Amino acid sequence: MSSETKPASGVAKIARRTFLVSAGVVGGGVALGLALSPNRLKMYRDDVASDDEIILNTWVKLTPDNQLTVIIPHSEMGQGVGTGLAQMLAEEMEADWETVSIEQAPASDDYINSDLGRGYIVGEGARIPAFAYPMLDFAFLQIAKGLVGQITGGSTAIRLTGYHGMRRAGAAAREMLTRAAAKEWNVPVNALRAEASMIHHDASGRSASFGTFAAAAASFTPNLKPELKSAKDYKIVGTPKPRLDIPEKVTGEAQFGMDVIVPGMKYAAIAQAPVYGAEAVSIADPTNAAPQIVNLGNAVVVVADSYWEASNALRRIEIEWDGGDPSLTSDALRALHSAHLEETDHEEVMDKAGDAPAKLASPDTLSVEYAVPYLAHATMEPMNCTASVRDGKCELWVGHQNPITARDDAAEALGVNKSDVTIHNVYLGGGFGRRARTDNVIQAARVASEIGVPVKLIWSREQDMSNDFYRPAIVSRMKGLVEDGKIAAMDHAYIFADAGMPDSERPYAFQYDVQNKRIARHPYESPIPVGAWRSVDFTQMGFFNESFMDEMAHRAGADPLAFRIAHKSDPRCRAVLERLADEARWGRPLTLGAAQGVAIVDSFEAIVGQVAELTIEDDNRVRLHRLTSVVDCGQVINPDSAEAQIHSSVIFALSAVFFGEITLENGQIVQQNFPDYDMVRLRNAPVQAVHFIKSDHPPGGLGEPGTPPVAPALTNAIYAATGKRIRELPLTRAGFSSV
């Protein structure tokens, strides 16, 4: 990045510059390179010496035979991001969808944080989805700090890159092509019309394809503020375009990190320190059979001609580990958590109104404690990375949520320049926040460097599950008082392990109108690594707040759904709840004898209300028949992918509610593979109904917001069915299981 911009003091001030253009022949075609860059961002920074320039590059490639390629600066991990972004670009470009394909952007600095910064630069306010937090570099954090007031909601891909970047890039490309045609035909620009990748001059009846003008168009300077279409004229956005990445995912051709083959490569299996903080102090190979052993300190790696041989050899060798805290257990941790809750010395008050403590001195106050466990990500594809290090150059093949940081961390580990590291980002077999970390990448780079041949490092499922950055375990205490059928006061205290979510997201907020409230957190350092897990702090907070809301409703003798509406002034939330009552047949379940539970959480600028409908069978087995979601995420870019994201978030949350719990014994993670960290399958997956509120609001996030309401909707339904209030997850702790 250029260092033209000097840190400036004073209030955030935004200056825009024009696009830079670079045009060139790429792969035999003409590339229209639209670099929305550099946008100047001057703002208050007191401690930064490096530049604060933010760059957005959105690339459109157009070939003379009229084929359009949209280059996607986000990783595909199942959310259909490429298709959604391409839809937004193609819409504004007036492209023929049949000619559109997508390509993964290279992991280069040109794409660094561009999308994230962009939302702030254009001043339309934006928020960041959890999986992206680790992508925030220092410069961006400075910006986030400075503009905290503007941070209101959204996901990076659609909300930022798409809404601010792709749409403008498409519109600018259309303008450039039209201008090129106007020049060529010697007619005024406004006499031309672009439609389905063609330019028409209606007066003379002339028409030609976009491709005809690709080369000429590249010589025009793109307009930074091209005219954008009105949503009512959309033909591509808002339609369920089939995802472009799906065909290769049903034939086995899609290449994930696990599938990379590099000529001459070896395979590596890894054993990481079973106790956090331990180091391998001695390694013995009794059979002398291990082909090659690399001691990384906190991990031991065996390299062989096949993964099978490597993992067999790894099993045979004897490793002595030393260090860490082998006395750590989940029970001890839980006691520690509860003790933290009592310590008010370091408490941070997050939100406060009226005088909650005075009100809550009443003997009628309800005081309850909730707890949720550590959770693993357990992406379907275990962690892996392929690396080749030769002559001071490093090549990496991996499916990563944050390829730039992966590159930088590998460079640092090897002591080489960032420019000497090339990263090939391939499909991710699930991410959920886990694939934003770089531990696997660093390991592979170090091993490849040590052995001097390319190597594919594969973690076993056991390694994957016991070496995660877990969703933090949290205990929480909520107090509340009901007066005249309404919540008169509430108080929430909870322990807080930082999983990387900015406070500006307000995950802690009690999303209801209450006059007297106090919300305080008690920070502590988790002794095991924690990180962002689909919807991050909203998973815990959603469970606490929405369970508590149900308890308050029952105290008030009110219907839980009506009680929620009575405490919501936000019209969008009210509309979601009202629609939900209708769609889920609230109070009139479809299944005979079923009980219903409701929850609603507003996160990442999407409001999701859900109703769970269940029956309890013998031995407290829960049969979840239906789960209805009503979603207001603003404009929906691709209704089919949007629905899939809700399906996915719901199942992800359900697995956690039913089975999810990571525990520790002797300082080691107990759960190792799916039997002891079980998952919902077809048999116990509910029928899902998903409804979207029609909205003209800018698009919000969708990868995560479907997750937080699931647990409380389910446990509230269990309460309705049995009178048993579940304040601790997973359900097995309360003696319930899945059918």
Partner 1 sequence: MKISFVLNGEATTVDAPSDMPLLWVLREKLELTGTKFGCGIAACGACTVHVNGVATRTCVLPASVIDGAEVKTIEGVASPSGEMSAVQAAWIEHQAPQCGYCQSGMVMAAEALLDENPDPTDEDIDNAITNICRCGTYERVRTAIHAAARARREG
**Contact footprint for partner 1 (CB under 8 A):** 76-80, 242-243, 245-256, 258-259, 261, 267, 306-309, 378-382, 427-432, 458, 460-461, 640-641, 644, 647-652, 673-675, 679-683, 685, 687-688
Comparing CB distances to ligand FES, the nearer of 261 and 380 is 380
What is the per-residue binding string for ligand FES in 289-328, x denoting contact by CB under 6 A? ----------------------------------------
431 binds ligand FES (CB under 6 A): no
Comparing CB distances to ligand FES, the nearer of 244 and 414 is 244
Alpha carbon 558 to chain centroid, angstroms: 36
The nearest distance, CB 676 to partner 1, in angstroms, is: 10
The nearest distance, CB 659 to ligand FES, in angstroms, is: 16
The residue within the footprint of ligand FES, chosen from 430, 507, 686, 700 (CB under 6 A), is 430
Secondary structure element (H or E) that encloses residue 738, with its range: strand 737-738
671 within 8 A of 677, measured Cβ to Cβ: yes
Comparing CB distances to partner 1, the nearer of 142 and 738 is 738
Q: Which of the choices ligand FES, partner 1, none does residue 26 contact, using the CB cut-off of 5 to 8 A by kind?
A: none
Contacts of 677 (CB under 8 A, 6+ apart): 376, 378, 465, 659, 660, 661, 662, 671
The nearest distance, CB 732 to ligand FES, in angstroms, is: 23
Q: Which of the choices ligand FES, partner 1, none does residue 640 contact, using the CB cut-off of 5 to 8 A by kind?
A: partner 1
Comparing CB distances to ligand FES, the nearer of 243 and 579 is 243
CB atoms within 10 A of CB 663: 18
Comparing CB distances to partner 1, the nearer of 319 and 428 is 428
The residue within the footprint of ligand FES, chosen from 29, 73, 78, 472 (CB under 6 A), is 78
Exposed e or buried b per residue across 373-399, where buried means at least 16 C-beta atoms within 10 angstroms of its C-beta: bbbbbbbebbbbbbbbbeeeebbbbbb
Q: Which of the choices partner 1, ligand FES, none does residue 255 contact, using the CB cut-off of 5 to 8 A by kind?
A: partner 1
Comparing CB distances to partner 1, the nearer of 382 and 597 is 382
What is the per-residue binding string for ligand FES in 342-381, x denoting contact by CB under 6 A? --------------------------------------x-
Q: Which of the choices ligand FES, partner 1, none does residue 300 contact, using the CB cut-off of 5 to 8 A by kind?
A: none
Question: Among 300, 257, 671, 268, which Cα is nearest to 465's?
Answer: 671
Comparing CB distances to ligand FES, the nearer of 545 and 707 is 707
Structure tokens at 648: 């996915």
What is the per-residue binding string for ligand FES in 683-712, x denoting contact by CB under 6 A? ------------------------------
Instruction: Provide the β-strand partners of residue 629.
Output: 610, 690
The nearest distance, CB 332 to partner 1, in angstroms, is: 30
Contacts of 293 (CB under 8 A, 6+ apart): 283, 285, 300, 301, 302, 303, 317
The nearest distance, CB 286 to partner 1, in angstroms, is: 19
Instruction: Provide the β-strand partners of residue 295.
Output: 300
Structure tokens at 322: 């030393």
114 within 8 A of 165, measured Cβ to Cβ: yes
DSSP 91-145: HHHT--GGGEEEEEPPSSGGGTTHHHHHHHHTTS-----GGGGGG--HHHHHHHH
265 within 8 A of 454, measured Cβ to Cβ: yes
The nearest distance, CB 187 to ligand FES, in angstroms, is: 50
Q: Which of the choices ligand FES, partner 1, none does residue 216 contact, using the CB cut-off of 5 to 8 A by kind?
A: none
42 within 8 A of 90, measured Cβ to Cβ: no
CB atoms within 10 A of CB 187: 15
Q: Which of the choices partner 1, ligand FES, none does residue 699 contact, using the CB cut-off of 5 to 8 A by kind?
A: none
Q: Which of the choices ligand FES, partner 1, none does residue 648 contact, using the CB cut-off of 5 to 8 A by kind?
A: partner 1
Comparing CB distances to ligand FES, the nearer of 170 and 430 is 430
The nearest distance, CB 380 to ligand FES, in angstroms, is: 4
Q: Which of the choices partner 1, ligand FES, none does residue 605 contact, using the CB cut-off of 5 to 8 A by kind?
A: none
Rounded to 5 degrees, what angle do the CA atoms 436, 38, 21 make?
A: 105
**What's the rounded Cα separation, in Å, for the pair 218 and 180?**
9
Contacts of 188 (CB under 8 A, 6+ apart): 182
The nearest distance, CB 249 to ligand FES, in angstroms, is: 8
Instruction: Provide the β-strand partners of residue 385.
Output: 457
Order of all β-strands in the sheet with 455-458 = 292-295, 299-304, 266-272, 455-458, 384-390, 393-398, 421-425
Comparing CB distances to ligand FES, the nearer of 91 and 464 is 464
Q: Which of the choices partner 1, ligand FES, none does residue 242 contact, using the CB cut-off of 5 to 8 A by kind?
A: partner 1
List, in sequence order, the alpha helices (H) in 295-344.
307-316, 330-342
In whole angstroms, how far apart are CA 530 and each of 120, 301, 525, 652?
Answer: 28, 24, 9, 18
Q: Which of the choices ligand FES, partner 1, none does residue 392 contact, using the CB cut-off of 5 to 8 A by kind?
A: none
The nearest distance, CB 703 to ligand FES, in angstroms, is: 13
List, in sequence order, the alpha helices (H) in 556-618.
560-566, 571-583
Contacts of 114 (CB under 8 A, 6+ apart): 36, 37, 54, 55, 56, 57, 73, 161, 165
Please work out the total of residues on this chain that contact ligand FES, with binding judged by CB under 6 A. Answer: 3
Residue nearest to ligand FES (CB): 380
Interface residues toward ligand FES, by CB under 6 A: 78, 380, 430
